[in-house]
Amino acid sequence: MAQYDHLPVFKVSYDLLLAVYQSVSMFGKEFKYTLGEKLKNETLEMIVCIYRANSRFDKGQMINEAKERLEVVRLYVRLSKDLKQITLKKLIFLNEFIESISKQLSGWEKAVNKPNVGVAPVTAVASVQHQSNSPPHG
C-alpha cells in the first residue's frame, strides 16, 4: 500500500479539510446541514481521490477527479461567502489552500502524463553501447 500522508498535496488538502470543518461549525443553522455538509463531503472526497491516485499505477483519472472535486469545493466556498456564512478574510484563507492544491494537482497531472523524455529506445541504447565499446578513430 502506497504512503500518501507524505505528499505535499495531501498535507495541504488535509489542512483545507480542517479549515472547512472549523468554518462550517460557524454556519447558521439553515446552511450548516445543507451547504456545510456538501462542502465537508466534497472536500473529504477530494482527499480520497488524492489517496487513490497515489495508490494506483494509472493516476491520471483520479487526479482529474480530484481536480473536479476541488472546483466544486471552490464553488461552495464562494457561495458560502455570498450567503454571508464566512467572512471575506475566511474566503481568502480557504482560497489560498484551494489555489495551492490546484497548482499541485496540475503539476502532478503533467508529470504523470509526460512521456518518458530522455529515455532512448532499446535499439538506440544497444547501438550507443556498441559505439562506446569500439576503439577510437583517429
The pLDDT value given to residue 6: 80
CATH of the domain at 118: 1.20.1440.60
User: Could you please report the per-residue DSSP string of 3-53?
Assistant: --TT-HHHHHHHHHHHHHHHHHTTS-HHHHTTHHHHHHHHHHHHHHHHHHH
Q: Domain range holding 53? A: 8-133
For residue 2, being part of any structural domain is answered with no
For residue 106, being part of any structural domain is answered with yes
Give the pLDDT band of residue 2 (cuts 50, 70, 90). Answer: low
The model's pLDDT over 45-65, given as tens digits with 9 standing for 90+, comes to 999 999 999 998 899 999 999
The model's pLDDT over 119-131, given as tens digits with 9 standing for 90+, comes to 444 443 443 444 4
pTM of this prediction exceeds 0.85: no
Q: How many domains does the chain have?
A: 1
Q: Which of 17-26, 33-42, 118-127 has the lowest mean pLDDT?
A: 118-127
